[in-house]
Amino acid sequence: MKKLFIQSYGCAMNFSDSEIVASILSKEGYIITNTIEESDLILINTCSIREKAEETIRHRLRNINIIKKNKPSLIIGILGCMAERLKDKLLKEEKIVDIVAGPDSYRDLPKLICKVLEKNEKSVNTILSLEETYDNIEPVRLNSNGITAFISIMRGCDNMCSFCVVPFTRGRERSRDPLSIVKEAKNLYSKGYREITLLGQNVDSYKWSKETNNKKKLEKSTEIKDVIVFSDLLEMVANINSDLRIRFSTSHPKDITNDVLKVIKNHENVCNYIHLPAQSGNSRILKKMNRTYDRNWYLDKINNIKKIVGNECGISSDFITGFCSETEEEHHDTLSLMDNVIYDYSYMYYYSERPGTLAQRKYEDDISLEIKKRRLSEIIKKQNKHSLNRNKLTIDKTYKVLVDGISKKSSDYNKGKTSENKLIVFPKKQNIMGTYVDVRVKDCNSATLFGEIC
Ligand code: SF4
């Protein structure tokens, strides 16, 4: 049996793709190993969102080179966004790499491996597709706790945010057949999974139609609407079983609808949490980022969430500080937006110029690293204060928690998540993994709630 070691970096889409790759190669006789030294094939699924992400991969390859020296027959492949961005240039820059495969070419991996094995030639496939959704491939769950899983519902992104490489590395948007998504979710539920996260670069622009997918003649039993948008899909999945929790990521302020918010409100098993990246609090910078909304539009969406879903709805964001030409005053607009929303948490970075993006081609990266880092530390400081305040509001309240593991800090404690996506730890109890328990919050810090099972 040939052994495959697969390592993923970056976003949840990449981790989900690695499960597709594992499935494709398991049909070629590969079994997964978590011991890199015993592998015959190493695949690294890469991220390209910031310079640092690519440096991490190059560093990893230097480590792998030591293993390759002891095992010359070992095959090494680079997958994902860095593969797509650099294409065969990567083979020149990183000599130990044998295969370069982009996010839409994973069905071709068996052939690419064959070429290396039989012809001793390096192989590349970085063709992006307008159709590929891998919807008929059942993922092989990797490092799974058997309780929570990702389901990718669409691929690519049509938004051209000026700082972002994703549209170049993952191609145009295409939505997956809703019935294949429901089937995968039902399958996971039957195997004991109790939480799924629907994944897409921008789930709100999910749109599937019988017309464009030549599915006019669907059997009577599976009658579905001619056009399925995200709120429809969310409802279809929510109706599978009220014991199956549903999360989704990532939303986009330009097209999140009130219909989606109403589905959250009307279905207890659709989690009370939305990740809504703002990126900046200043309208001039948002325009320069080509985010297609301004500060007021964004705040309207936040107000809709609080009005329709409620003030307890967990809300998180992404922020980029120090974007091209950002003034101190505009930086303060981001800080004041955070004061207005009071996020539960955020992913925060300073601007990292990416080759080939609109921003790199048109704007000067003119904010010094020192100022970028200082602004980032101000945003992080504010977010930590807000996260703590939001968590303090939960003290003495009881939450329905899905138990999904053991606390990292102590094996005497179980851990789980509330519907609001808050991490909570509580004294361990036998045989509760994968079940729902009511937990009363006793204390908290900015990242974790501490409670007791009621
Ligand atoms: S929405 Fe913007 S930031 Fe997000 S993946 Fe698409 S282009 Fe990138």
* CATH 2.40.50.140, the chain: domain bounds: 398-453
The pLDDT value given to residue 14: 97
**CB-CB contact of 166 with 201 (8 Å):** yes
**Which secondary structure element, helix H or strand E, spans residue 2, and what is its range?**
strand 2-8
CA 314, chain centre distance (Å):
17
Asked if the model's pLDDT at residue 212 lies above 80, the reply is no
Residue 346 Cβ inside 6 Å of ligand 1? The answer reads no
Residue 249 Cβ inside 6 Å of ligand 1? The answer reads no
pTM, entire model: 0.95
Please state, for a pLDDT cut of 90, what percent of the chain lies above it. Answer: 95
Asked if the model's pLDDT at residue 223 lies above 90, the reply is no
How far is the C-alpha of 48 from the C-alpha of 323, rounded, in Å? 18
* CATH 3.30.750.200, the chain: domain bounds: 276-286+302-393
- Could you say which of 1.10.579.10, 3.30.420.40, 3.30.750.200, 1.20.1300.10 is the CATH number of the domain covering 276-286+302-393? 3.30.750.200
Per CATH, is 2-125 categorized as 3.40.50.12780? no
Mutate to test the pocket of ligand 1, among 161, 275, 298, 357 (most ligand atoms within 8 A of CB): 161
Asked if the model's pLDDT at residue 217 lies above 80, the reply is no
The model's pLDDT over 8-54, given as tens digits with 9 standing for 90+, comes to: 999 999 999 999 999 999 999 999 999 999 999 999 999 999 999 99
Question: Strands, DSSP E only, in 67-114?
Answer: 75-79, 99-101
The pLDDT value given to residue 144: 86
- Determine the residue type at 337: L
| Homologous superfamily, domain 398-453 | Nucleic acid-binding proteins (2.40.50.140)
**CB-CB contact of 196 with 149 (8 Å):** yes
Torsion of CA 349, 355, 361, 363, to 10 degrees: 20
Q: State in Å: Cα 158 to ligand 1 middle.
A: 8
Q: State in Å: Cα 97 to ligand 1 middle.
A: 29
Q: Quickly state the pLDDT bin for 165 (edges 50, 70, 90).
A: very high
Tell me the average pLDDT across 258-267: 98
The pLDDT value given to residue 219: 53
The model's pLDDT over 276-300, given as tens digits with 9 standing for 90+, comes to: 999 999 999 999 999 999 999 999 9
CATH number of 144-271: 3.30.750.210
The model's pLDDT over 230-248, given as tens digits with 9 standing for 90+, comes to: 999 999 999 999 999 999 9
* CATH 3.40.50.12160, the chain: domain bounds: 2-125
Residue 85 Cβ inside 6 Å of ligand 1? The answer reads no
Q: State in Å: Cα 31 to ligand 1 middle.
A: 34
The model's pLDDT over 119-161, given as tens digits with 9 standing for 90+, comes to: 999 999 999 999 999 999 999 999 889 999 999 999 999 999 9
Q: State in Å: Cα 437 to ligand 1 middle.
A: 36
* CATH 3.30.750.210, the chain: domain bounds: 144-271
Atom of ligand 1 at shortest range from CA of 160: 7
**CB-CB contact of 2 with 85 (8 Å):** no
The model's pLDDT over 70-104, given as tens digits with 9 standing for 90+, comes to: 999 999 999 999 999 999 999 999 999 999 999 99
Residue whose CA lies nearest to ligand 1 atom number 1: 159
> According to DSSP H, which parts of 178-294 are helical?
178-190, 230-238, 258-266, 283-288
Q: Which of 233, 224, 232 lies closest to 196, judged by CA?
A: 233
Residue 157 Cβ inside 6 Å of ligand 1? The answer reads yes
Residue with tokens 């709120």: 231
The pLDDT value given to residue 224: 80
Supply the mean pLDDT for the chain: 96
Q: State in Å: Cα 160 to ligand 1 middle.
A: 7
Residue whose CA lies nearest to ligand 1 atom number 4: 201
The model's pLDDT over 391-441, given as tens digits with 9 standing for 90+, comes to: 999 999 999 999 999 999 999 999 999 999 999 999 999 889 999 999 999
370: left (phi over 0), alpha (psi -120 to 50) or beta: alpha
Q: State in Å: Cα 167 to ligand 1 middle.
A: 7
Residue 292 Cβ inside 6 Å of ligand 1? The answer reads no
